Chain A
Amino acid sequence: GAVVSQHPSRVICKSGTSVKIECRSLDFQATTMFWYRQFPKQSLMLMATSNEGSKATYEQGVEKDKFLINHASLTLSTLTVTSAHPEDSSFYICSAGASGTDTQYFGPGTRLTVL
């Protein structure tokens, strides 16, 4: 149980385009989902906390207009990287918190490459 999926697993796009990444909790309901970014050989850095039915909370230094987060249901959160540039190339990982617990379950990640 407690499986989190991400789609797509890899995406390559041209500079200036927007990319949407989906995060789904497959067998549980997640009131809260988290989005992380991981650059090569670095740790995971929290970008934002996504709450179902309300606005996301962004960490300091993360542009909310560039990284749009929507958490429309208890099993789906989406991250849209708008007007992507090469410096946005990274590994994006989501996690989902099961309702009523502090436990987070991580997705397999999405590798974004912006040309």
Chain B
Amino acid sequence: GQQLNQSPQSMFIQEGEDVSMNCTSSSIFNTWLWYKQDPGEGPVLLIALYKAGELTSNGRLTAQFGITRKDSFLNISASIPSDVGIYFCAGQRTGTASKLTFGTGTRLQVTL
């Protein structure tokens, strides 16, 4: 099946640094979602974006829905050790029974 391209694939950062990752698609989505997955667990929703150009924050997280509806980015400010995990973007189209298409994932590791 289709997957969305995420970059970077992985990143090592120091505690306190800001992090930026993005997600691109060859086709349009009506909704963009960002999830975090810890090892051995299911993904947890971080932010949902419903409108092109929308910029939404959730604590230290900020995400934007690209104007073209084919991309999205996620920023994490002042990273902390518990930010470690895999971040997935997901796209959703109206009228597809809510099916999600997931990105390839960005693995984040935070060093002290």
Q: State the main secondary structure of chain A at its contact with B.
A: strand
Which of B42, B88, B102 is in CB contact (< 8 Å) with A109? Answer: B42
Chain A nearest CB, measured from B95 CB (Å)? 10
Whether B40 and A111, one on each chain, are in contact in the complex, defined by CB atoms closer than 8 angstroms, is: yes
Contact of B59 with A by CB under 8 A: no
Give the chain B neighbours of A46 by CB distance below 8 A.
Answer: 1, 99-101
Minimum CB distance partner of B43 in chain A: A106
Whether B1 and A34, one on each chain, are in contact in the complex, defined by CB atoms closer than 8 angstroms, is: no
Contact of B98 with A by CB under 8 A: yes
Q: How many residues of A contact B (CB 8 A)?
A: 27
Q: A60-B1, A102-B31 are in contact. Are A107 and B42 (CB under 8 A)?
A: yes
Whether B42 and A106, one on each chain, are in contact in the complex, defined by CB atoms closer than 8 angstroms, is: yes
Minimum CB distance partner of A57 in chain B: B97
A47–B105 alpha-carbon span in the complex (Å): 18
Minimum CB distance partner of A36 in chain B: B102
Q: Mark B87-103, 1 if CB is under 8 A from A, else 0.
A: 01000101001111111
Contact of B44 with A by CB under 8 A: yes
